[in-house]
């Protein structure tokens, strides 16, 4: 089945530094990647939608200059948290829509636990 590989699975960084999270579609082409953030005991909240070869679309309240998204190829989308602060500590997860001739669904990366100290 369609697999999205997400790295790193966890990262601890110092306040003020930047962290890059990668999501790769392994056996399909992901023209669109959705990036979610999940705080403890809360739901997955959509941050932005990245489209291959064009600018990402950010949800209201998400700072595009802080959360840089790049989708340079059909198999790679990246999220960079710039100048991270403790309040950015969260679980970040990517998702891609998968469609074949008969049906469609969504596949998720394994998530990245970001801790900013």
Partner 1 sequence: GENVEQHPSTLSVQEGDSAVIKCTYSDSASNYFPWYKQELGKRPQLIIDIRSNVGEKKDQRIAVTLNKTAKHFSLHITETQPEDSAVYFCAASDAEGSARQLTFGSGTQLTVLP
Based on CB atoms, which residue is closest to partner 1, 44 or 68? 44
The nearest distance, CB 20 to partner 1, in angstroms, is: 19
The nearest distance, CB 30 to partner 1, in angstroms, is: 12
* CA 6, 56, 76, 4 torsion-angle sign: positive
- DSSP conformation class of 102: S
The nearest distance, CB 91 to partner 1, in angstroms, is: 7
Phi, psi for residue 7 in degrees, rounded to 5: -140, 145
Based on CB atoms, which residue is closest to partner 1, 82 or 107? 107
Phi, psi for residue 105 in degrees, rounded to 5: -170, -165
The nearest distance, CB 34 to partner 1, in angstroms, is: 5
Q: Which residues bind partner 1 (CB under 8 A)?
A: 32, 34, 42-46, 49, 91, 93, 95, 97, 104-106, 108-111, 113
Based on CB atoms, which residue is closest to partner 1, 66 or 97? 97
Based on CB atoms, which residue is closest to partner 1, 32 or 82? 32
In the chain the beta strands, taken as DSSP E runs, fall at: 4-7, 10-13, 19-25, 32-38, 45-51, 57-58, 67-73, 76-81, 90-99, 104-108, 112-116
């Amino acid at each position: 089945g369609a697999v999205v590989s997400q790295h790193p699975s966890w990262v601890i960084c110092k306040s003020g530094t930047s962290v890059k999270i990668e999501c790769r579609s392994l056996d399909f082409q992901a023209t669109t990647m959705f990036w979610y953030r999940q705080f403890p005991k809360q739901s997955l909240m959509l941050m932005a939608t990245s489209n291959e070869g064009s600018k990402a679309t950010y949800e209201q309240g998400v700072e595009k200059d802080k959360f840089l998204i790049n989708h340079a190829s059909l198999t790679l989308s990246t999220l960079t948290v710039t100048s991270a602060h403790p309040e950015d500590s969260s679980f970040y997860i990517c998702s891609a829509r998968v469609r074949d001739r008969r049906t469609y669904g969504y596949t998720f990366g394994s998530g990245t636990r970001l801790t900013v100290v």
